[in-house]
């Protein structure tokens, strides 16, 4: 009988035209190329992460889900037989601007078979001076004015730009037009979906030298022109030993915590817990075990783990199901 323990994974890395090498500074061993995404905890047809520690080393998250199901992931964790793990955790290195994009809701008729909508949040791990993101539309932009702006090449005038710095958090519900821009590294917690509709891509070629596909009609269809409830915040008010909630949605709760010494915590029976180590290092402890951790690592704690501790000096994100 395998006892529950914090699972650490080998990420699935994705080359992207906008990617770079910044994830190396987390000690991650990147393949060659422009690496834009590390899928740190993933159970999706386009990428599955595999366990690297403990008794289950070598098994994919999909295998663990099939083996342990609700027992490890909680009553909310795997709602139906054969259902995939509900979240996807990524680190993103934006060496160049990402396409301007928007994600659908779960009920959009144009979704690929088996896909979910995509509500997500970003926590900025690092940002060059004056780095920006695109975060929503300016006021009074309509479907008609957005289409006209796309046709006459002025679409960027419809976008709201925000300068960002490390520690900023952004909640991006489905329907929010958005884009990360050059010079930011973020942790992304999202629904387990890989559906993105590109509105605009700066007329640049993709990795194969050809223009990347745009999804104009789908984008116009799913955009929430009146706003989808996107929120942003500075998170420097986090104090050691207390969780600061930085995103709340029907799909995930995300909190920021500062560890200074030893912090004793516990999982709950209804949901797994995900820890993203933003900076610092130390040890995770639990009954009968200990695991060193470092910045850039992500851990999946089974709901049945019970009492655990985070020791050291670090900044962590904690995610779980609402």
Q: Give residue 69's pLDDT.
A: 85
Q: Are residues 94 and 206 in the same domain?
A: yes
Give the start-end residues of each E strand in 54-103. 87-94, 100-102
226 plus 254 within the same structural domain: no
227 and 269 co-located in one domain:
no
User: Is there a single domain that holds both residue 270 and residue 307?
Assistant: yes
With contact defined as beta carbons under 8 Å apart, do 133 and 180 qualify?
yes
Rounded average pLDDT over 180-209: 95
16, 65, 198, 318: which is the annotated catalytic residue? Answer: 198
- Residue 115 in 3-state DSSP? coil
How far is residue 285 from each of residues 264, 301, 305, 307, 312, measured CA to CA in Å? 9, 11, 11, 9, 11
Same domain, 220 and 91: yes
pLDDT tier, 147 (very low <50, low <70, confident <90, very high otherwise): very high
Determine the Cα–Cα distance for residues 217 and 88; give it in Å rounded to an integer. Answer: 26
- Whole-angstrom Cα distance, residue 284 to residue 272? 16
96, pLDDT greater than 90: yes
Q: What is the extent of the structural domain holding 204?
A: 7-234
- In 101-158, alpha helices (H): 143-152
Q: What is the CATH number of the domain that holds 311?
A: 2.60.120.10
Nearest CA among 195, 197, 189, 239 for reference residue 216 = 197
Least confident of 73-82, 93-102, 195-204: 73-82
One domain, residues 174 and 59: yes
Out of 206, 234, 262, a domain closes at 234
Q: Are residues 163 and 287 in the same domain?
A: no
Instruction: With a cut of 80, say whether residue 83 has pLDDT above it.
Output: no
pLDDT per residue over 4-31, tens digit each?
A: 999 999 999 999 999 999 999 999 999 9
- The structural domain count of the chain equals 2
In a shared domain, residues 33 and 167: yes
pLDDT at 70: 85
Co-location of 212 and 148 in the same domain: yes
Q: Round to whole Å and give the CA distance between 191 and 115.
A: 10
Give 151's pLDDT tier (boundaries 50, 70, 90): very high
For 308, the 3-state DSSP assignment is: strand
Mean pLDDT value across residues 183-196: 96
Q: How confident is the model at residue 80 (pLDDT cuts 50, 70, 90)?
A: low
Residue 295 pLDDT > 80, yes or no?
yes
Q: Is 16 a catalytic residue?
A: no
């Amino acid at each position: 009988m395998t006892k529950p323990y914090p699972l650490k994974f080998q990420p699935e890395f994705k080359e992207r035209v906008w990617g770079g090498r910044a994830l190396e500074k987390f000690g991650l061993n990147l393949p060659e190329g422009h690496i834009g995404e590390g899928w740190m905890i993933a159970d999706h047809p386009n990428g599955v992460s595999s366990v690297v520690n403990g008794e289950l080393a070598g098994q994919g998250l999909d295998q663990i889900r099939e083996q342990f199901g609700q027992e490890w992931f909680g009553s909310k964790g795997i709602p139906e037989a054969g259902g995939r793990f509900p979240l996807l955790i990524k680190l993103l290195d934006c060496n160049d601007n990402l396409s301007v994009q928007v994600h659908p809701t779960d009920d959009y008729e144009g979704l690929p078979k088996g896909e979910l909508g995509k509500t997500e949040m970003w926590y900025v791990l690092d940002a060059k001076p004056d780095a920006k993101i695109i975060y929503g539309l300016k006021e009074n932009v309509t479907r008609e004015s957005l289409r006209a702006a796309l046709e006459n090449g002025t679409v960027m005038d419809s976008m709201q730009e925000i300068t960002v710095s490390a520690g900023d958090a952004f909640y991006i519900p489905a329907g929010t037009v958005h884009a990360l821009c050059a010079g930011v590294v973020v942790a992304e917690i999202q629904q387990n979906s890989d559906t993105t509709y590109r509105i605009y891509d700066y007329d640049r070629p993709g990795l194969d030298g050809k223009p990347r596909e745009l999804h104009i009609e789908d984008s116009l269809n799913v955009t929430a022109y009146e706003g989808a409830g996107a929120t942003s915040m500075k998170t420097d008010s986090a104090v050691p030993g207390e969780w600061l909630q930085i995103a709340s949605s029907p799909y995930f709760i995300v909190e920021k915590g500062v560890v200074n010494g030893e912090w004793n915590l516990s999982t709950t029976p209804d949901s797994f817990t995900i820890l993203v180590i933003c900076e610092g290092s130390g040890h995770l402890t639990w009954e009968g075990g200990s695991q060193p951790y470092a910045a850039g690592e992500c851990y999946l704690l089974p709901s049945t783990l019970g009492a655990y501790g985070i020791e050291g000096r670090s900044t962590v994100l904690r995610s779980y199901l609402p």
